[in-house]
């Protein structure tokens, strides 16, 4: 099994995770701390329990609501990411960042093209920095869980691999913190805060009789998102990792689309989301285990100085992770059928009718 190179869940060309990728260029340091930048922005932003998207919202303004909702959550984790005491802070900030990027994919055509490209550019860089750290956190968590169940001698033999992953994670975290302390991040927060709080800013002019509201635009968007997932119907137990990864990407887009408009779609939305989240989680476990096995294999091939015990322990880890990956793939059928069957499409249709 080799490392896969595919488009990631946000449409960027990606290798899972690529430890050989160059670090981003150093950013100019800001005179304002990222914690203060986030605090000042949050004072201007409305903190709400939901994005409160409604059927009669103009398309761009619905997107603005979603961006504002997740920007608040993203900025709320800046201090924790900089402090570095809890890996979940990186995870939570990455989730919020990803939701904002997803909002651009769903609602982006409601905005003018040039501003849209500018807004997405810096968000992509921040998302990449968060992802590089989070991916390695996941790898270390998988390795730690495996080591806990091994005899002391095997735990010791896996220490070179553990140390290498931790060191790479610390390097990537340092790069992320540098980015957050830069003028680029300060400018990003300023631009996004303005975007989130000024209605109609950079919104595209809608021609007469063009679908312009959530009620008239979202039904086709939802069906398109589901169609992309449904197209994978077949023998997923025999699918390769690239195919499963692409399905995972499309499942994420379906989930995000439903989440953004959840309140007007209830009560069907809860059931629809639970089923797509179950598929996404199942595929995510396959993806993570395959990624850990791939990285372990890369480490073995690149580390010529490993002793016999270290090499044997790492190889045993690879085989265990491969076996777990295969077992999860064989059990994918029931989770998939709850999403691919006619009952799901019926629920989707009833939800759309509520708009």
What's the pLDDT score for residue 304?
A: 78
CATH number at residue 350: 1.40.20.10
What's the pLDDT score for residue 1?
A: 31
175 and 231 assigned to the same domain: no
Residue 186 has pLDDT above 80, yes or no: yes
172-198: average pLDDT:
96
- Say which range, 122-126, 174-178, 229-233, 302-306, has the weakest mean pLDDT: 302-306
229 and 143 assigned to the same domain: no
What's the pLDDT score for residue 8?
A: 45
Give the confidence band of 243 by pLDDT, cuts at 50, 70, 90: very high
Q: Is residue 14 part of a domain?
A: no
Q: Residue 295 and residue 16: Cα distance in Å, rounded?
A: 9
245 and 329 assigned to the same domain: yes
Q: Residue 36 and residue 335: Cα distance in Å, rounded?
A: 44
Q: Residue 63 and residue 203: Cα distance in Å, rounded?
A: 10
Pick from 44, 40, 91, 35: which is nearest to 68 by CA?
Answer: 44
What's the pTM? 0.92
Sequence-ordered alpha helix ranges (H) in 16-149: 34-44, 59-75, 78-83, 87-107, 113-148
Residue 190 has pLDDT above 50, yes or no: yes
Average pLDDT of the residues of the chain: 92
CA distances from 205 to 60, 110, 201, 208 (A): 10, 8, 11, 10
pLDDT tens sequence across 307-330: 999 999 999 999 999 999 999 999
Residue range(s) defining the domain that contains residue 270: 215-355
Tokens matching residue 199: 């209605």
Q: Is residue 352 part of a domain?
A: yes
Residue 27 has pLDDT above 80, yes or no: no
Pick from 226, 221, 225, 223: which is nearest to 340 by CA?
Answer: 226
Q: Is residue 74 part of a domain?
A: yes
What's the pLDDT score for residue 303?
A: 84
Total domains, the chain? 2
295 and 340 assigned to the same domain: yes
Residue 286 has pLDDT above 90, yes or no: yes
Q: Is residue 161 part of a domain?
A: yes
228 and 195 assigned to the same domain: no
225 and 116 assigned to the same domain: no
Contact 110, 65 (CB under 8 A): no
C-alpha atoms less than 13 angstroms from C-alpha of 4 in its C-beta half-sphere: 19
Residue 16 has pLDDT above 90, yes or no: no
Q: Residue 137 and residue 116: Cα distance in Å, rounded?
A: 31
CB-neighbour burial class of residue 346 (10 A; exposed 0-12, middle 13-18, buried 19+): exposed
34-41: average pLDDT:
98
What's the pLDDT score for residue 5?
A: 33
Cα separation of the two ends of the chain: 46
Give the confidence band of 3 by pLDDT, cuts at 50, 70, 90: very low
81 and 125 assigned to the same domain: yes
What's the pLDDT score for residue 305?
A: 79
What's the pLDDT score for residue 45?
A: 97
Q: Is residue 276 part of a domain?
A: yes
User: Which single residue is written with the structure tokens 């761009």?
Assistant: 60
């Amino acid at each position: 099994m080799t490392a896969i190179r595919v488009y990631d869940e946000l449409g960027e060309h990606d290798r899972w995770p690529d430890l050989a990728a160059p670090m981003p260029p150093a950013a100019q340091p800001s005179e304002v701390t990222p914690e203060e930048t986030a605090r000042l922005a949050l004072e201007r932003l409305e903190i709400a329990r939901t994005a409160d998207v409604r059927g009669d919202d103009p398309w761009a303004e619905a997107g603005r609501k979603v961006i504002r909702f997740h920007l608040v959550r993203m900025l709320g984790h800046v201090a924790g990411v900089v402090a570095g005491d809890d890996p979940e802070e990186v995870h939570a900030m990455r989730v919020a960042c990803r939701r904002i990027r997803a909002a651009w994919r769903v609602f982006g055509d409601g905005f003018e093209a040039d501003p849209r490209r500018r807004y997405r550019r810096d968000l992509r860089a921040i998302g990449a920095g968060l992802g590089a750290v989070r991916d390695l956190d996941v790898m270390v968590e998988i390795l730690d869980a495996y080591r806990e169940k091994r005899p002391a001698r095997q735990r010791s033999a896996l220490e070179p691999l553990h140390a290498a992953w931790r060191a790479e994670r610390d390097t990537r975290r340092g790069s992320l913190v540098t980015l957050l302390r830069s003028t680029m991040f300060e400018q990003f927060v300023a631009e996004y805060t303005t975007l989130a709080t000024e209605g109609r800013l950079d919104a595209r002019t809608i021609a007469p009789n063009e679908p312009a509201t959530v009620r008239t635009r979202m039904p086709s968007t939802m069906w398109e998102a589901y169609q992309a997932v449904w197209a994978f119907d077949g023998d997923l137990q025999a699918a390769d990792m690239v195919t499963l990864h692409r399905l995972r990407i499309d499942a994420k887009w379906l989930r995000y689309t439903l989440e953004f408009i959840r309140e007007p779609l209830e009560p069907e939305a809860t059931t629809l989301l639970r089923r797509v989240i179950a598929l996404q989680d199942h595929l995510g476990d396959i993806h993570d285990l395959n990624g850990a096995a791939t990285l372990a294999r890369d480490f073995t091939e690149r580390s010529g100085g490993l002793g016999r015990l270290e090499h044997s322990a790492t190889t045993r880890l690879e085989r265990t992770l491969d076996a777990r990956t295969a077992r999860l793939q064989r059990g994918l059928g029931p989770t998939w059928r709850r999403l691919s069957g006619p009952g799901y499409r019926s629920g989707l249709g009833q939800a759309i009718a509520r708009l």
